[in-house]
A = this chain, B = another copy of it.
Amino acid sequence: RPGDVIRDPAEIYRQSFAIIRREADLGRFSGPMEELAVRVVHACGMPDVAATLSFRPGAAEAGCRALAEGKPILVDAQMVAHGIIRRRLPALNPVICLLDDPRAFDLAEKCGTTRSAAAVRLWADRLDGAVVAIGNAPTALFELLAMIAEGAPPPALILGFPVGFVGAAESKDALIASGLPFVALPGRRGGSAMAAAAVNALAGEAK
């Protein structure tokens, strides 16, 4: 058994965050947005994502306020839901993923779309002032933007981290152009770990 393996969880966190602060370019960030950038880098092991993170000024702060007020967290994937550390949440905020709701299956088939996008349609009465975290499906983010353009109440913050080769970059570009409060990683990279880390960062700052 190697003697130099660091096993103490607090020490692992301390060293990880020290490396991130040394290697990642965090100069553009402050307050909860800086914490969010650090946590997203931590989730993926890539300091360079800090340089490409995009955000609307005040968006992270709005997310913190929404969490402190007990607003729900709406997520597009079970992996995002299970990456959110419940004990960090400031107000026992509900974490809602409707991907496995039977209505999502039916709606997806009827509309010829993904189940992820159909599940977003089911958020309508929960969107107002919520924190949305998209960590998987570009179609979910496109659907959300369409709903809001059609008059659905906007969330307090949209965390845009869909990943992949078809639509991911385009959906995040549309989010950035929307005028809505957002944090997003442009391009193909993203994922549920980054989306959950962004929520965890804001939850810690909202306490």
Contact = CB atoms under 8 A, between A and B. Distances in A.
A166 B7 contact: no
A12 interface: yes
Interface stretch (A41-49, A52-60, A65-73): A41-49
Copies of this chain present? 2
Contact of A8 (B12, B112, B170): B112
Contacts of A46: 188-189
A20 interface: yes
Interface stretch (A29-37, A77-85, A121-129, A198-206): A77-85
Interface string A139-159: 100100010010000000000
Nearest to A17: B165
A179 interface: no
B12 A167 contact: yes
B165 A16 contact: yes
Contacts of A42: 164-165
A44 B139 CA distance: 17
A163 interface: yes
A114 to B, nearest CB: 5
A35 to B, nearest CB: 16
A179 B203 CA distance: 42
A117 interface: yes
B6 A166 contact: yes
A33 B128 CA distance: 45
Contacts of A6: 166-167
Given A2-B174, A15-B165, A79-B196, 20 more contacts: A1-B146, A1-B149, A5-B139, A7-B111, A7-B117, A8-B112, A9-B114, A42-B164, A43-B191, A44-B163, A44-B189, A45-B187, A46-B188, A46-B189, A78-B83, A79-B192, A79-B193, A81-B82, A191-B191, A192-B192
